[in-house]
Amino acid sequence: MSEAVGELLQEVAIETSPEPEAAFESLRGRGAIITGGSTGIGRATALELAAGGTNVAVNYLDTGPESKVLAAELEGALEPHGVKFLIREGDVRDSEGSAAFVAEAHERLGGLHILVNNAGVGRDRALWRMSDEEWQSVIDTNLTGAFFMTRAVAPFLRAQEFGKIVNVSSVHGLSSEFGLANYCSSKAGLIGLTRSAALELGPANVNVNAVAPGYIRTTRLTDRVPPEIMDRARERSALGRLGDPQDVVSVILFLCSELARHISGVVIPVDGGYLI
């Protein structure tokens, strides 16, 4: 390779490789809602967005004293970033409550541009032993809750002709496993909702996408998974490891940024090659 060509390639590489901070500069000053944001992937997303200058609103399910402590800890972690933020107890299964939260977030943050539907639960059991409540609670939280939130933010995003929605699905929305009939159905349904919303909101310049995490450490869902299943998941992964919340957050931020302005209706697995 000639010296001149080498210098040219070096210049091109420098010009086309922006710093991460510059790549996500489009998120600064935006308003974002993250559901189920006091723990795991939701918490990591809220903190990463705030660190980049995004105003954030988080709701969480009040399950007792521990949930309030976690919400208070999140508030303390958000304060140093100097952004506007809102933390509210709320149940995404409550249609009216979800709409009220969205309206309050819009006012408190000075606008809404991003929705991350992260709230999710699991109630694993063989389908012939699964109760009505175990089925319905998972479907209502993981799928219907995302619909309620999407429906509530849609008027704001359509009016301004701009918005980003990211749904946190799962590899189990793409491939099933024993004992997860309710969870797999809810996450597969969420992928269907993603594609439908992308089609309907696309004319208003709203991008709607989904991430499909594999087995992620330090989340409430995987805390209940037996160690032997986690070990099998690690062995099945092409990369030979489990993921961290930050692995998922990086993809969520990409989809919320203008780097992904021409991507809509897609599902991105973040699974270390689990589905290969």
pTM: 0.90
Instruction: Count other Cβ atoms within 10 Å, centred on residue 174.
Output: 17
- CATH number of the domain to which 110 belongs: 3.40.50.720
Instruction: Work out the mean pLDDT of the chain and round it to a whole number.
Output: 91
Catalytic residue among 60, 183, 215, 274: 183
Which among 4, 15, 34, 64 is positioned nearest to 252, based on CA atoms? 34
Domain boundaries, position 210: 21-270
Q: Is residue 65 part of a domain?
A: yes
Query: What tens digit of pLDDT does each residue of 226-276 get?
Result: 788 888 888 899 999 999 999 999 999 999 999 999 999 999 999 999 999
C-alpha–C-alpha distance, residues 108 and 94, integer Å? 21
Q: Is residue 275 part of a domain?
A: no
Q: Is residue 103 part of a domain?
A: yes
Q: Is residue 191 part of a domain?
A: yes
Q: Is residue 266 part of a domain?
A: yes
Residue whose token pair is 């990211």: 166
C-alpha–C-alpha distance, residues 60 and 36, integer Å? 5
The count of domains in the chain is 1
Share of the chain above pLDDT 90, in %: 82
Instruction: Count other Cβ atoms within 10 Å, centred on residue 136.
Output: 14
The pair of three-digit structure tokens given for residue 129, joined into one six-digit string: 């032993």
C-alpha–C-alpha distance, residues 42 and 128, integer Å? 32
Q: Is residue 123 part of a domain?
A: yes
Q: 81 pLDDT exceeds 70?
A: yes
Query: What tens digit of pLDDT does each residue of 17-44 get?
Result: 445 556 678 899 999 999 999 999 999 9
Tell me how far apart the 2 most distant CA atoms of the chain are, in Å.
71
Determine whether 215 is an active site residue: no
Query: What tens digit of pLDDT does each residue of 109-148 get?
Result: 999 999 999 999 999 999 999 999 999 999 999 999 999 9
C-alpha–C-alpha distance, residues 57 and 108, integer Å? 9
Q: Is residue 79 part of a domain?
A: yes
Q: Is residue 7 part of a domain?
A: no
